[in-house]
Each structure stands twice: as structure tokens, then as C-alpha cells.
Amino acid sequence: MMPSEVPPHRMSAFTYPPDYSFPHHRLHPILRDPTKQPIVLVACGSFSPITYLHLRMFEMAKDYIRQHTDFEIVGGYLSPVSDQYKKPGLLNANHRATMCTLAAEQTSSWLMVDPWEAFQNYQRTAVVLDHFDFEINTILGGVQTQEGEKRDVRVMLLAGSDLISTMSEPGVWSHQDLEHILGRYGTFIIERAGSAMDQAIENLARWRHNIYLVPQLIQNDVSSTKVRLFLRRGLSVRYLLPAAVVDYIEENNLYLDDGAGSEKEKGKEKEAAMVR
Ligand SMILES: Nc1ncnc2c1ncn2[C@@H]1O[C@H](COP(=O)(O)OP(=O)(O)OP(=O)(O)O)[C@@H](O)[C@H]1O
Ligand SMILES: NC(=O)c1ccc[n+]([C@@H]2O[C@H](COP(=O)(O)O)[C@@H](O)[C@H]2O)c1
């Protein structure tokens, strides 16, 4: 993991992977309701591998946003983390980005995968959100109302409550980055079994107005760690992940000996096995 104290990059300091272009084929250029504020949802994570739960997070947020807010979603992005994040069980970026793309293209009509983060040096989440803001508002010029009025799109982080819990852990996120992510952008937090939401945001009270808590009305506790454990034991993961992702994993013999030697991975597996 790479906590950092340095402030978020300025736009001119962005670095780019070779042959990169920002995906926007499913970004909605026209705001349907001019009284609403346009937003994009960005989920940052390992996605090793992506599961139906990761995809459900977007649908849960979408329902919540329609029912409880004045936002209109104009796009949704998965942003797989760089290999340099070095989390146990992190398969190489090429495989992770391919699986995310298969999942997004084959199961959704609005989700996209941005490979910017995956194929370069580790980028902090604050910088990743700046990158989306830059591509969507500065380069693409935001969106328009049906009358042709230009509107900036607000970038918002979509995350599980375990991730927001880490925001109160010392040394994981810098204060400056939290101010940037929660003060400037804002976040939708999906309730996660075993991770108390109220406790998670207790220390983030000053940004409470920008933190939207989304309950999981149908509990789903699929995790990538459990999926990796199943695969290593030769157990089926079908119907936990999109079929195209299961096929891809099988065709490429992925996760058969993934992180087996790592003490951290063994610890996480033990936890996952106990949950069962
Ligand atoms: N069961 C869940 N409920 C709510 N949010 C989840 C759940 N599983 C993952 N997430 C969220 O999905 C995002 C991406 O998750 P990521 O792939 O980094 O972790 P993960 O699924 O917990 O993987 P691992 O098991 O490898 O730690 C994070 O914001 C995480 O909080
Ligand atoms: N300081 C930071 O910007 C920071 C700290 C911890 C996790 N993260 C991000 O959170 C995402 C998920 O991380 P975990 O899988 O470790 O929960 C990753 O995309 C990672 O880059 C960012």
C-alpha cells in the first residue's frame, strides 16, 4: 500500500500509460433533467477478480441516487488499481482490466473501464478523481442540457464501507487527500457486512454532507478474496461472477497458485473461511 503525504497532482502533472485514450463511449452527453446535477460514479479497487457485487454497487447507488438525491448519473467507471499497489492476490493489470471490461461490456449498458490507473505507477485516489474531472470537464467539456447549456459533471467516489473505514486509520490516507476526496468530490458508500457504517464515518463528520450512505437491501457478501480461495481449491465460482469472467479465468488458468506463499493472503483466506 502506498500512503502519501504529498498533495494531489495538478492537472499538468498527470502521467499517462502508452497509447492511452479516455473511454467515454457510454458517457451520456445530454442531461435528461436540467434541474439535476450531473455526476459520474468512479469505483477504485483491485478487482482481482471483479465480481457481481462490484457491479451491484453501481446499481445500488443508482437506485439510491434516483430516490434520495438531486443528482443525475451520466456515467459509471471502474478504475482498477496499478500493479504497484502490491496487495496480496493482485493479479497483473492486464488480466484485471480485461476481466473488468468483459464484465462491464457484457452485463451493463452504462459502465466503462478506465485503464489509466492500472497501466502506470501507483496513483492515489485523490489523483485518480482529478484525472476523471480533467478528462470529463476540461477535455470533453462536461455535458449539456437539452437546451444546449453546458454543465460541469461532478466526479464522485463509489466505495464499500470497509474502504471508508480505512480513512480513519492512521497513515493510510493523508488529511489533504481526504479533504480533496470528501470535501471537493464526495462519495457514495455501500454498506458491507461486517463493517459498521456509522463507526466508519464517525471520524469523517466534517465531510458528512458529502458522504451518502447506501444500505444493501439484499445482502451480498461475495468478495474477491473468497473467490480466489475457491478457485485455488478447485471449487466453482459460477454465478458469483459474470460468465464471461469465469470463462476467462478458466481459459487462462488464473488464480490457481495466486499468492499461496503470502502470509497476508493466508490470513485473509482464514478470515474468509471463518465467515463461511
Ligand atoms: N461485499 C461488499 N460490500 C460492499 N462493498 C464491497 C464489497 N466487496 C468489495 N466492495 C468494495 O468494492 C470496491 C473494490 O473492492 P476491491 O476489489 O479493492 O476489494 P475486495 O472486493 O474487498 O477485494 P479483496 O477481497 O481482494 O480485498 C471497494 O470500494 C470495496 O469496499
Ligand atoms: N491514500 C490513498 O489514496 C489510498 C489509500 C488506501 C486505498 N486507496 C485505494 O482504495 C482502493 C481499494 O483499496 P483496498 O483494496 O486496499 O481496500 C484502491 O484503488 C486504492 O488505490 C487509496
Q: How many angstroms separate the CA atoms of 142 and 133, rounded?
A: 9
- Quote the pLDDT of residue 92: 97
Nearest listed ligand to the Cα of residue 174: 2
Give the amino acid at 213: L
Q: Domain residues of the chain, as ranges?
A: 8-274
17 CA to centre of ligand 1 in angstroms? 25
- Quote the pLDDT of residue 13: 79
Quick count: other Cβ atoms within 10 Å of Cβ 122?
15
Tell me the average pLDDT across 223-231: 97
- Quote the pLDDT of residue 2: 41
- Of 147, 128, 139, whose CA–CA distance to 9 is shortest? 128
Architecture label for domain 8-274: 3-Layer(aba) Sandwich (3.40)
- Quote the pLDDT of residue 63: 98
Q: Could you tell me if the CB of 187 is within 6 A of ligand 1?
A: no
Q: Could you tell me if the CB of 29 is within 6 A of ligand 2?
A: no
3-state secondary structure of 119: coil
Contact 210, 41 (CB under 8 A): no
Please report which helix (H) or strand (E) contains residue 39, including its range. strand 37-45
Nearest listed ligand to the Cα of residue 46: 1
Strands 143-145 and 150-151: antiparallel
Residue 41 has pLDDT above 50, yes or no: yes
Question: To which residue does cell 461486517 refer?
Answer: 194
Beta strand residue intervals within 57-197, DSSP E? 71-80, 111-113, 143-145, 150-151, 154-160, 187-190
- Quote the pLDDT of residue 202: 85
- Note the pLDDT tens digit of each residue in 60-74: 999 999 999 999 999
- Note the pLDDT tens digit of each residue in 237-271: 999 999 999 999 999 999 998 454 455 565 555 55
3-state percent helix, strand, coil for the chain, nearest multiple of 5: 40, 15, 40
Chain length of the chain: 276
Tell me the average pLDDT across 16-25: 97
For the whole model, what pTM was predicted?
Answer: 0.92
Q: Could you tell me if the CB of 117 is within 6 A of ligand 2?
A: no
- Quote the pLDDT of residue 6: 38
Q: Could you tell me if the CB of 224 is within 6 A of ligand 1?
A: yes
In this predicted complex, what is the ipTM?
Answer: 0.96
Q: Using 50, 70 and 90 to split pLDDT, how confident is the model at 119?
A: very high
- Of 137, 133, 257, 159, whose CA–CA distance to 212 is shortest? 159
